[in-house]
Amino acid sequence: MAISYEWDCKTCDTYLAKSGKSNVVYNVHWRLTATDDTNKDSDDNNWTADTYGSQSVSTDDLSSFKNWSSLTNSDVQGWVEAAIGADTVTAMKSSLDAEIAEKISPKSVTKTLSS
């Protein structure tokens, strides 16, 4: 099972003005999606799982400030991963892997009686 991960960190809360800068990001609404690139469901789609949340980011030091118009998803993803911490990111990915594995080979299913 080959799993790839994609971060969506494009939605941010910003201060309109702070320390002489404009549109200063202080909170990020993120989603992490895992996709199994090997196994497919019955509709021939890749199995996926995702998790989401929001993460505050420090605005104490704006010495490396980047203008909003120059920010990329990758820039903001780096902030989010640093704020969350490597161990938590690894745990989230492991949880998504387990969720996909359960979808591929479920241990239980819900059934409805016909009468």
Buried b (16+ CB within 10 A) or exposed e, 43-54: eeeebbbeeeee
Mean pLDDT of 21-27: 97
For 104, the 3-state DSSP assignment is: helix
User: Residue 1's pLDDT is what?
Assistant: 64
* Nearest of 43, 30, 14 to residue 92 by alpha carbon: 30
* φ/ψ bin of 33: left (φ > 0), alpha (ψ from -120 to 50), beta (otherwise): beta
Average pLDDT of the chain?
95
Of 86 and 44, the structure prediction assigns the larger pLDDT to 86
Q: Residue 39 — pLDDT band, cuts 50, 70, 90? A: confident
Q: What is the mean pLDDT of residues 77-91?
A: 97
**3-state DSSP helix/strand/coil percent for the chain, to nearest 5?**
30, 40, 30
